[in-house]
Chains A and B, each alone.
Chain A
C-alpha cells in the first residue's frame, strides 16, 4: 500500500473537483446548444445565398430556353448549343437522360431539386413546359465563390466563442453561488474547531505539568494509581490536540527541517506512550539502532511516530505486544491487534476512517501519517492479518 493512493481530502480539493465536474457538464450542454444554433444559422445563410443566386440563375435559364427554342425550330440548319461564359448548362429529357451538357460536374445532378450546392458549384434546375429538343429539365451551373461560407464560419466562431465564454463565466458564478452556503458552514466549523482546540491546550498542559510535579513517593499507592489514570487521560487528550492542530494548521506552517536524531526521538515517544500501553497491559519491545538521523521537521516526525504508536496500542488486544524496530531508512511498528483485511488496508489512509469505533479517536491518525509521508517522499507498506495483527513499515532514502 503506497502513500500515493492516500488522498488527503481537503475541502478546497473537493470543491475544485465539483467545480470542474459541473463546468464540464455545463460546457458540454452549452456546446450542444451552440452546435445546434450554428447548424440552423449555417443552413439559413446557405438558403439565403441560394435565394439570392436563384434570381440570377432564373434569368440565365430563360436565356438558355430562348436559345433552345431557336435551335429546336432551326435544327435542320443550326446545331450549335447556346453557350454563355457566365454559366454552364445541360438539358435532360423526361426520362432524365442527358441530351447535351457543358457542365463541370454532370455526374450526380439532382433533377428533383430546384437549387443546391455540390462540389463548389451551384445547380439550378428549371422544368420546361414545352420540351424543346426533347428537353424537360434545364440545368444551369455557376461556381460557388464560397464567400458566404467564410462569412458564416467567421460569425459562428466569433459569436459562438463569445457566447461560450459568457456561458462558462456565468457557470463559474453559478457554482460559486451554490457553494457559498456550504463554504460558509465549513468556515464556521473550521473556526469552531480551531477555537476549541486552542482552548484545550492550556488546561491539558496544566494537568500534565502538575502531574509531573507530584512526588509519587509521598502519596499512597492507591492515590498514585488514580493520578496515573488522570495522566493517561490527559496524554490522550493531548495527543488528539496535537493531531487536530496539525490538521488545521499544517497548510499555514512551513516545515522547519533539521537533522533529527530519530533513535532519540523514538525512545522519547515510546516512553511517552508506555504509560498508555501499561494501562492495557501491552508490552513495547524495541530494537532501535542508535544514531539513526533524518533531515525532517521534528514536530511532524513526532506526529508520524505518535500516530503509529498510538494506533498500535489503540487497536491492540489487552496484554498484547508492540514491536518497534528502527534501522537507517526504515521504521517498523508491529502490533498483535485486531488486524485488517485487504479492503480495509486500501482505505486505511482515508480521513475519518475508523475500523473500530469502540476505541477512541477521530480516524485522522493515519491520514496525518500519509500526508507527512507524502511531503517527505516516504514509502509506507502495511501488512496485516485479521486477529493476528498489523505491521506498518515506513521507508525513506538514506
Chain B
C-alpha cells in the first residue's frame, strides 16, 4: 500500500511540471462541463485583443482579477454562468496554462 502511494505521488509530481497538465487540470477540467467552451472564449479574446501578446496579457489580467469589465463574455452569459473565481495558481503556472491555451487554439499555421 505504501509503495503504491509513493508511485502515485511520483507520477503526480512528474505531471505537475508539465504545462499541459496545468492547463488540463485547471482550465479544461472545469470548462469541459461549464459553458462557455474554451474554444469559444479563445475566439472572443482574439476578436477583442488580436495579437498573442495582447491576448495573453488580457487573459492573465482577467484570471487574476475577474471582473465584469475585464470579461469578454456577454452580459447574458455572465448572468447565466457567473464570473470565474479568482485563480489560485502561481504566476509561472498561470502563464504556462495560458501558453498551452494559446498553442491549442491559435490560428497561425492552421489557415489553408
Write the residues of chain A forming the contact surface with B, with a CB cutoff of 8 angstroms: 71-72, 75-76, 79-81, 93-95, 97, 99-100, 130-136
The tally of CB-CB contacts under 8 A between chains A and B is 54
What chain A residues lie within 8 Å of B107 (beta carbons)? 75, 99, 133-134
Most buried by B among A72, A76, A131: A131
CB distance from B26 to the nearest CB of A (A): 23
What chain B residues lie within 8 Å of A71 (beta carbons)? 111
**Of A95, A131, A133, A135, which contacts B53 at CB under 8 A?**
A95
Do B110 and A134 touch across chains, with their CB atoms under 8 A apart? no
Besides A75-B110, A95-B51, A133-B111, 13 other A-B contacts (C-beta < 8 A): A71-B111, A76-B39, A93-B51, A93-B52, A94-B51, A94-B54, A97-B52, A99-B111, A130-B47, A131-B50, A134-B47, A134-B49, A134-B107
Question: Which interface class (under 10, 10 to 19, 20 to 34, 35 or more) fits B?
Answer: 10 to 19
Do A100 and B111 touch across chains, with their CB atoms under 8 A apart? yes
Q: A75-B43, A75-B107, A99-B107 are in contact. Are A134 and B50 (CB under 8 A)?
A: yes
- Complex Cα distance, B49 from A237, in Å, reads 107
What chain A residues lie within 8 Å of B43 (beta carbons)? 72, 75
- Complex Cα distance, B111 from A133, in Å, reads 10
CB distance from B75 to the nearest CB of A (A): 18
Task: Enumerate the 10 nearest inter-chain pairs by beta-carbon distance, A residue then B residue, closest first.
Answer: A94-B50, A131-B50, A93-B51, A95-B51, A94-B51, A134-B46, A100-B111, A93-B50, A136-B50, A134-B50
- Complex Cα distance, B42 from A72, in Å, reads 11
**Residue of B whose beta carbon sits closest to that of A131:** B50
B22 within 8 A of A: no
What chain B residues lie within 8 Å of A132 (beta carbons)? 47
In the assembled complex, 12 residue pairs joining A and B whose CB atoms fall closer than 8 Å, in A order, are A72-B43, A72-B47, A75-B43, A79-B111, A81-B112, A95-B51, A99-B107, A99-B108, A131-B46, A134-B49, A134-B50, A135-B50
What chain A residues lie within 8 Å of B86 (beta carbons)? none
- Complex Cα distance, B108 from A134, in Å, reads 10
Do A133 and B46 touch across chains, with their CB atoms under 8 A apart? yes
CB distance from B60 to the nearest CB of A (A): 17
What chain A residues lie within 8 Å of B48 (beta carbons)? 130-131
CB distance from A70 to the nearest CB of B (A): 13
What chain A residues lie within 8 Å of B51 (beta carbons)? 93-95, 97, 134, 136
**Of A97, A99, A131, which contacts B49 at CB under 8 A?**
A131
What chain B residues lie within 8 Å of A75 (beta carbons)? 43, 107, 110
**Residue of B whose beta carbon sits closest to that of A133:** B107
B97 within 8 A of A: no
**Residue of B whose beta carbon sits closest to that of A135:** B50
B98 within 8 A of A: no
- Complex Cα distance, B45 from A94, in Å, reads 13
What chain B residues lie within 8 Å of A133 (beta carbons)? 46, 107, 111
**Residue of B whose beta carbon sits closest to that of A78:** B112
- Complex Cα distance, B46 from A133, in Å, reads 6
What chain B residues lie within 8 Å of A136 (beta carbons)? 50-51
Do A95 and B110 touch across chains, with their CB atoms under 8 A apart? no
Most buried by B among A99, A130, A135: A99
- Complex Cα distance, B50 from A136, in Å, reads 6
What chain A residues lie within 8 Å of B53 (beta carbons)? 95
**Residue of B whose beta carbon sits closest to that of A130:** B47
Do B110 and A79 touch across chains, with their CB atoms under 8 A apart? yes
B94 within 8 A of A: no
Do A80 and B112 touch across chains, with their CB atoms under 8 A apart? yes
CB distance from B22 to the nearest CB of A (A): 24
- Complex Cα distance, B50 from A132, in Å, reads 8
Do B111 and A134 touch across chains, with their CB atoms under 8 A apart? no
What chain B residues lie within 8 Å of A130 (beta carbons)? 47-48
What chain B residues lie within 8 Å of A93 (beta carbons)? 50-52
Q: A133-B46, A134-B46, A134-B50 are in contact. Are A79 and B112 (CB under 8 A)?
A: yes
Most buried by B among A79, A94, A100, A134: A134
